[in-house]
Chains A and B, each alone.
Chain A
């Protein structure tokens, strides 16, 4: 079991305050959404959980231990983030890249362990990357690259999955399947997932609980059903937001 506890957290970037006095607790098998408009502080909050941004006040704890008390490598065994950065600077194959995900678990000796190699092989199979494993990253499409990034995150085996706008530049079908496999994996590892996005409908579809960032001092935390009202959303996004319902599905759109 894993818990992520954010306690009276205040973040500051220069003179600007983001999330004043935010508190919430995320448990295993939960999927949380972090919703808000551009500049509301979603990425900053994600980075502070990673340890990249120091909180101005308050604390971030994993299993009741403040994150700064963990060694960097130990932290990386617990938290993983999905992104696509700098994949293409030097030539590298798919398999090599996915294997990098094992870095926080392995001792930095000359050879990779058999277990690591086997795990990576399984993950490649699971994500249908088997046929691509010897291909160079530079020859892959955007969707394939995203799959490699997911495979790397799976190899890292974190408990807490952080996703910062994971669906940017992806087609709708792929957005859905991507979040599905990530959520399943987090569940299988008895972990949890925090999804930062400005896509209301994606959050509505996948998240059990939501944090809606409205202003630096104002945010709403609750179940998806409680938070997703047109009134709350209109305030948070600064434009009128409408809803259509069909059977059990709801769709939100700006007027």
Chain B
């Protein structure tokens, strides 16, 4: 059900998203004020500030927002698909596969575009393994899917540990940042924005079906849902979205898990509202976290994944507590 409260929530999140983007553009080692930012848009007179904004802060800000949006979207989908509030985008092993792919590339001395492709390849291999095993047994049992994914994640974890233990030490720092999630090298392009847009519109379109799916297979089936097709589509879409987010910024944690929960507690239970809200909140969350990550202990930078958890844990606990008291 959608009511005026939901439109207000959407409006609030839209304002939050815009504020987060501006906050991120203003944060960094060079001081830029809001008035300066506005005047730069119309009349770029200061070459240095212009360059910092256009070539460093803006791409990083957009990358952060996109990654957050993609992960929050995947989180909502995975939770509905697995009917498990503990599910997050990484639960079926996508991030593990991507990390192993990226690690192999780093250890081979590769970087840039090739590294990204290695990570994407790892993630897709992971998706195919989970799908192959879960599908082989005929029906798509949620428990089987979950178990296959969790076991595979553990397997990837073991491979990561072996790679870390045997690698020469000068790479360890960059590998760690990759595992935790870091935006300092991240860039996004048109395809990422298109995916995010696809998420918003696709989510609104299939939102009603997701509402039905999250009530259990038998309910969904008897209400006329084509379960097999929907589940297959959701699994692939969520996995590919996650894989792409991971290849941009590493495994930024907590966004995908906590964003849908915060929104549900705020009343956005209908997926037609939840999905656009999650994309806005997830994007804002990572954008703000990254702004803090590069300013709190400047000139040193923190990995954004650590900051999302540091902010996310108390916020989530406070909202959960406030909600149970009511």
With A108-B206, A110-B272, A112-B1 known as contacts, the answer to whether A90 contacts B85 (CB < 8 A) is: yes
Within 8 A of B (CB), among A26-49: none
Report the contact-size class of chain B (Cβ under 8 Å from the partner).
20 to 34
Q: Let me know if B269 is at the binding interface, CB within 8 A.
A: yes
**Which of B205, B222, B223, B269 makes the CB contact (< 8 A) with A96?**
B269
Whether A100 contacts B224 by the Cβ 8 Å rule is no
Q: Let me know if B204 is at the binding interface, CB within 8 A.
A: yes
Whether B264 contacts A100 by the Cβ 8 Å rule is no
Whether B223 contacts A89 by the Cβ 8 Å rule is no
For the residues of B in contact with A, the DSSP-based class is helix
- Return chain B residues, CB-CB under 8 Å to A91: 264-265, 269
Q: Let me know if A163 is at the binding interface, CB within 8 A.
A: no
CB 8 Å contact bits of B216-230 with A (1 = contact, 0 = none):
111101111110000
Whether B85 contacts A85 by the Cβ 8 Å rule is no
Who on chain A is nearest to B206 by CB?
A108
**Which of A79, A85, A111 makes the CB contact (< 8 A) with B218?**
A85
Most buried by B among A100, A101, A104: A100
Q: Let me know if A75 is at the binding interface, CB within 8 A.
A: yes
A85 to B216 CA separation, bound complex (whole angstroms): 7
Q: Let me know if B186 is at the binding interface, CB within 8 A.
A: no
Who on chain A is nearest to B273 by CB?
A110
**Which of A72, A75, A85, A99 makes the CB contact (< 8 A) with B219?**
A85
**Which of A93, A97, A112, A156 makes the CB contact (< 8 A) with B2?**
A112
A109 to B215 CA separation, bound complex (whole angstroms): 19
Q: Let me know if A52 is at the binding interface, CB within 8 A.
A: yes
Q: Let me know if A190 is at the binding interface, CB within 8 A.
A: no
CB 8 Å contact bits of B46-84 with A (1 = contact, 0 = none):
000000000000000000000000000000000100011
Who on chain A is nearest to B79 by CB?
A90
CB 8 Å contact bits of A79-113 with B (1 = contact, 0 = none):
11101011101111101110111011010101110
Q: Let me know if B207 is at the binding interface, CB within 8 A.
A: yes
Within 8 A of A (CB), among B15-45: none
Whether A77 contacts B224 by the Cβ 8 Å rule is yes
Whether B2 contacts A111 by the Cβ 8 Å rule is yes
With A90-B264, A112-B1, A112-B2 known as contacts, the answer to whether A103 contacts B223 (CB < 8 A) is: yes
B229 smallest CB distance to A (angstroms): 10
With A89-B83, A90-B214 known as contacts, the answer to whether A104 contacts B224 (CB < 8 A) is: yes
Report the contact-size class of chain A (Cβ under 8 Å from the partner).
35 or more
Q: Let me know if B117 is at the binding interface, CB within 8 A.
A: no
With A86-B83, A89-B85 known as contacts, the answer to whether A50 contacts B221 (CB < 8 A) is: yes
Whether B224 contacts A72 by the Cβ 8 Å rule is yes
Within 8 A of A (CB), among B277-304: none
Who on chain B is nearest to A73 by CB?
B224
- Return chain A residues, CB-CB under 8 Å to B218: 52, 81, 83, 85-86
Whether A96 contacts B270 by the Cβ 8 Å rule is yes
A72 to B226 CA separation, bound complex (whole angstroms): 7
B232 smallest CB distance to A (angstroms): 15
Most buried by A among B205, B223, B270, B272: B223
10 closest Cβ pairs, A-B complex: A86-B216, A76-B224, A73-B224, A104-B224, A108-B208, A85-B216, A103-B223, A72-B224, A81-B222, A85-B218
Given contacts A52-B221, A85-B216, 16 further A-B contacts (CB under 8 A): A71-B224, A72-B225, A72-B226, A77-B224, A80-B222, A81-B218, A86-B217, A89-B84, A89-B216, A96-B269, A100-B219, A103-B208, A108-B206, A108-B208, A110-B204, A112-B1
- Contact residues of A with B, CB < 8 Å? 50, 52, 71-77, 79-81, 83, 85-87, 89-93, 95-97, 99-101, 103-104, 106, 108, 110-112, 156
